[in-house]
Amino acid sequence: MSSTSPAPASLADLVSPPADSAMRRSDFVFGCGTSSYQIEGAVHDDGRLESIWDRFSKTPGKVLRGETGDVACDHYHRLEEDLDIIQRLGVDAYRFSIAWPRVMDEAGRPNARGIDFYKRLLDGLGQRGIRAFVTLYHWDLPQHLEDRGGWLNRETAWRFADYADLMSRQLAGHGDVAAWTTHNEPWCAAYLGYGDGHHAPGLKSTRWAAQAMHHLLLGHGLALPALRANAPQAQHGIVVNMAPGYADSDTAADRDAAYLFETFQNRWALDPLLKGEYPAALWRYWKGSEPLVLDGDMDIIRRPIDYLGINFYSRAVLRSTGPDTVDWVRRDGVERTTMDWEVYPQGMQDLFEALKAEYANLPPIYVTENGMSSADEVQAGTVDDVQRQSYIKRHFAACSRAMHNGVDVRGYFIWSLMDNFEWAFGYERRFGLVHVDFETQKRTLKRSALAYADFLRERAAG
């Protein structure tokens, strides 16, 4: 909003979807999300084991300014305060992840002290009338499993299934778990972790990335039967990060570059999950990187899911630089976030409608992450994050248009509840609805959070 923009009729108008949007239905789920390593801290408390991010973040040169998640938002010790903030927002649901190293020992036995934290979290949500969307894996693999090969080791997929079975049994009867998610963004875990080394464990090989992805997806499929048996009342699915690709020009070569990008970014995960096969074009892009796939693997991976979570942030513009090669184009003069990602809400509508056209068996969609980083500061006790307010409103509108055109979207989670440890960028990039002073741990609701809460109150009032 510029200084000459008219004042909104209410604070809610800063972020709310259009008046005729299907997002305003009473059964549409609005929420916010976090992940364990990004907020919990307490990395040595109550028997928690080392994770790959503990090891990676302490490796010189891997994280901006050498920052770690040792303390993060100290959520482990500030649970009640944070639950009250979630309640103040008025969201229908809260999406969070379990720290695998916190709940099991090296022999796979339950760690009761760590599990108790998640029982208290779920009970606290339930007491406040907030549903839970529980993610099992948001990248913090126990280091002892990485020492045996991590996601390059097929055995890790089976250990993940054991972990899923344990947690869905241990947490039964606590709170209102509306959905279990196996993995958050397997693309990031596989490619950023094993392909380009930007994330833990920091390995660099496209062949390793392809094999890691296969074992991540295999673990997802192996976990589903236990999750369904232990939590039959919940939905069960997976969360993928996706971005539409646009050709830099209308040449056949640039259109093919956009197709190759979408194959790498989107179809690499979705085709195995929904079609039971890897896209052939991926091996044009990554020659000689095909993973080892055993008989029956793809049938396990393509087991039916109840929903597909999609994390959407931006788009990519592509040009061809030769046969089967792609170059990302950085356009000047466009709005960007402090992550240097272009703000392009229309990409959400385009992506969702393209998925509906491409996959006849596309499950219902939840927007499980959407948000932006900005250089937020507390001034006179407030944080007026103008760009985030506009970002949310425009993406709500894009989602609404896709729903109007027949895409089955059931819910929308803003990323994130609070500023936190943003992986390789440390604490510099702020995505939160709630500002966190990492020196004092003081939480301050930004104006986007206040507007979101006002919209949700107005919606609840009918």
| 425-444 per-position pLDDT tens digit | 999 999 999 999 999 999 99
In the structure, what pLDDT confidence band is assigned to residue 3 with cuts at 50, 70 and 90?
very low
Q: Is the pLDDT of residue 268 over 90?
A: yes
Instruction: In whole angstroms, give the CA distance from residue 63 to residue 398.
Output: 34
Report CA-CA distances (Å) from 449 to 380, 388, 412, 441, 445: 17, 10, 15, 18, 6
The percentage of residues in the chain with a pLDDT greater than 90, rounded to a whole number, is 97
β-strand partners of 135: 97, 181
By annotation, the residues acting in catalysis are 369
| 40-68 per-position pLDDT tens digit | 999 999 999 999 999 999 999 999 999 99
Looking at residue 238, its pLDDT comes to: 99
Q: Please, what's the largest Cα pairwise distance for the chain?
A: 64
In the structure, what pLDDT confidence band is assigned to residue 311 with cuts at 50, 70 and 90?
very high
In the structure, what pLDDT confidence band is assigned to residue 4 with cuts at 50, 70 and 90?
very low
Looking at residue 9, its pLDDT comes to: 65
Q: Smallest Cα–Cα separation from 411: which of 453, 457, 364?
A: 364
Which range among 6-15, 244-253, 268-277 shows the weakest confidence by mean pLDDT? 6-15
Query: How do beta strands 316-322 and 365-370 pair?
Result: unpaired
For 180-187, what is the mean pLDDT?
A: 98
| pTM (whole model) above 0.85 | yes
Looking at residue 272, its pLDDT comes to: 98
Looking at residue 77, its pLDDT comes to: 98
For 225-232, what is the mean pLDDT?
A: 98
Q: Is the pLDDT of residue 251 over 90?
A: yes
Are the CB atoms for 41 and 75 separated by under 8 Å? yes
In the Cβ-directed half-sphere of 110, how many Cα atoms lie within 13 Å?
14
For 286-295, what is the mean pLDDT?
A: 96
Looking at residue 10, its pLDDT comes to: 85
| 147-161 per-position pLDDT tens digit | 999 999 999 999 999
What average pLDDT does the chain have?
A: 97
Q: Smallest Cα–Cα separation from 421: which of 80, 29, 99?
A: 99
The percentage of residues in the chain with a pLDDT greater than 70, rounded to a whole number, is 98
Q: Go through the domains of the chain in sequence order and give each one's CATH number.
A: 11-461 (3.20.20.80)
Burial of 6 (0-12, 13-18, 19+ CB in 10 A): exposed
In the structure, what pLDDT confidence band is assigned to residue 365 with cuts at 50, 70 and 90?
very high
Q: Is the pLDDT of residue 446 over 60?
A: yes
Are the CB atoms for 31 and 95 separated by under 8 Å? yes
DSSP 76-131: TT-HHHHHHHHHHHT-SEEEEE--HHHHB-TTS-B-HHHHHHHHHHHHHHHHTT-E
For 203-215, what is the mean pLDDT?
A: 98
Are the CB atoms for 69 and 38 separated by under 8 Å? yes
3-state secondary structure of 257: helix
Report CA-CA distances (Å) from 213 to 150, 221, 223, 225: 11, 12, 15, 20
Q: Is the pLDDT of residue 1 over 80?
A: no
| 10-23 per-position pLDDT tens digit | 899 999 999 999 99
Contacts of 143 (CB under 8 A, 6+ apart): 49, 50, 51, 52, 54, 55, 101
Looking at residue 462, its pLDDT comes to: 82
Looking at residue 218, its pLDDT comes to: 99
Are the CB atoms for 417 and 449 separated by under 8 Å? no
In the structure, what pLDDT confidence band is assigned to residue 333 with cuts at 50, 70 and 90?
very high
Instruction: In whole angstroms, give the CA distance from residue 437 to residue 377.
Output: 9
